[in-house]
Structure 1
Amino acid sequence: MRLRHDKTAADKLAQSKFLIKNFPLKVNENDILEIGAGKGEMITQLALNNPNITYYALEKYPTVANKILKKINELNLENLFIITEDATKIDELFDGTMNQIWLTFSDPWPKNAHEKRRLTYKTFLEKYRKIMNPNSVLKFKTDNDKLFNYSVESFKENNWTIIDLTTDLHKSKYNADNYQTGYEQKWSALGKNINFLIAKPN
């Protein structure tokens, strides 16, 4: 269900210490970023269970990002911060490299004319490369089979190594450590397989 626009969301975020306001942000090699964090179901659980790791949730829509802020406050998290910028600026937002980048249930942009908007399109892969180091990995999960197949080819064509992949995350060895997004819970409950891969730039 689409969230009703919250006119106060941007102000609530602006008043919070958990909103990153100044860029580029200095990051370290243990930090983890989720691009398109939605309401934050996954990343808040990651932060809760790994208090010594700093997490960043990139969600450009304030109404949605405010849901993450609410969870941060409810769970008393001190290691999760919100960024309300567009993913197209990702290589301008950070100073340094981080441990992991998560792409979770990204918009598939199915029309060919919109290919450049897909978060696994070659220009985005080049941007991610700039904030990754030789030990960094990118983790990608989606219910959209066509986007997944497209992404596998995009990684291969743009000099990335796919470390592992599965077309049924919830029946794989990775499920034990998997925290589900709200979108993931919805589609999995309907019997939809969830695709997952781990990749790194060469």
Structure 2
Amino acid sequence: MRLRNKPWAQNMIDDHPEIVIPDPENWKGRWNEIFKNDHPIHIEVGTGKGQFISGMAEKYPDINFIGIERQKSVVVSVIDKLKETDQKNVRMMNVNAADLKDFFSKGEIERVYLNFSDPWPKNRHEKRRLTYETFLQSYEEVMVPSGEIHMKTDNQGLFEYSLHSFSKYGMVLNNVSLDLHKSNFEGNIMTEYEEKFSAKGNRIYRCEAVYRSK
């Protein structure tokens, strides 16, 4: 999907350091100081307009959430969403998630959410998929032992690829759903894309992948 350029986006980001953390690498190992508590931290890689992370933060006030989004034109939509709620347990990072260890220390993150990620369907783009082995390694480097990845997508090809990638990496698969909205899974917070795709009758695929303790 082509995003509309918003030349004013950087100014808006700069105007809201309470939401989008400036120089997030400076807080590596010290994110508890940002949130002023020691609650678990969950991150969402690719946030859409912020509906999921905002909904999760409201539902789970004792968990801190950090959204990671590299597209400035998307980040400003999240800012608008979070300004409406004034939620204290959500922050954003306008960075590339390719190397999370620049921003987090080992054991600082408990869970990663991957919601409706770009499927990068061409074989030559495999390494860009957020469930490719190098990304799985990057997540593991900042997570607690037995950390979890929770994934949702409407793309069957990406889902099948991801199940294989998780398994090949040695992860344990839980709660695999081939049609989330017709399952008995409870507590689902929908993203904007999820609402759009499910309204069209598309299946939503979901799974949880758990790292094995080493």
TM-score (norm 2): 0.88
1:37-116 → structure 2 map (5 Å cutoff): 37-95=47-105, 96-116=107-127
| Whole-angstrom distance in 1 between the partners of 2:62 and 2:136 | 28
State which drifts further: 97-106 or 46-55: 46-55
| Whole-angstrom distance in 2 between the partners of 1:85 and 1:121 | 19
| Whole-angstrom distance in 2 between the partners of 1:122 and 1:191 | 31
| One-letter identity of the residue aligned with 2:19 | F
| One-letter identity of the residue aligned with 2:143 | M
User: CA RMSD for the aligned pairs?
Assistant: 1.6
| Whole-angstrom distance in 1 between the partners of 2:129 and 2:112 | 15
- Counterpart of 2:194 in structure 1 is 184
| One-letter identity of the residue aligned with 2:42 | I
| One-letter identity of the residue aligned with 1:71 | K
| Whole-angstrom distance in 2 between the partners of 1:30 and 1:68 | 21
CA deviation vs aligned residue, 1:82-110 (integer Å, no higher than 9, x gap): 11111212232112422211000000000
Is 1:14 the equivalent of 2:14? Answer: yes
Alpha-carbon shift at residue 50 of structure 1 (Å): 2.0
Unaligned runs of 5+ in 2: 32-37
Unaligned runs of 5+ in 1: none
- The count of aligned residue pairs is 201
State which drifts further: 105-114 or 83-92: 83-92
CA deviation vs aligned residue, 1:61-99 (integer Å, no higher than 9, x gap): 111111111111111211110111112122321124222
- Counterpart of 1:148 in structure 2 is 159
Contact 2:39 2:62 in 1 (8 A): no
Contact 1:29 1:97 in 2 (8 A): no
Q: Match of 2:120, SS?
A: coil
Is 1:157 the equivalent of 2:158? Answer: no
CA deviation vs aligned residue, 1:21-44 (integer Å, no higher than 9, x gap): 231533466111000011111111
| Whole-angstrom distance in 1 between the partners of 2:201 and 2:174 | 26
| Whole-angstrom distance in 1 between the partners of 2:88 and 2:175 | 32
Change over 3 Å in CA distance of 1:105–1:119 after alignment to 2: same
Among residues 119, 137, 160, which one is paired with 1:126 in the alignment? Answer: 137
Indicate the percent of aligned positions where both proteins have the same amino acid. Answer: 35
| Whole-angstrom distance in 2 between the partners of 1:184 and 1:59 | 18
| One-letter identity of the residue aligned with 1:38 | G
Contact 1:48 1:77 in 2 (8 A): yes
Q: Match of 1:88, SS?
A: helix
| Whole-angstrom distance in 2 between the partners of 1:3 and 1:113 | 23
Contact 2:177 2:183 in 1 (8 A): yes
| One-letter identity of the residue aligned with 1:19 | V
CA deviation vs aligned residue, 1:129-170 (integer Å, no higher than 9, x gap): 111112421100100000000000001111111122111111
Contact 1:29 1:98 in 2 (8 A): no
Q: Match of 2:144, SS?
A: strand
TM-score (norm 1): 0.93
Contact 2:140 2:147 in 1 (8 A): no
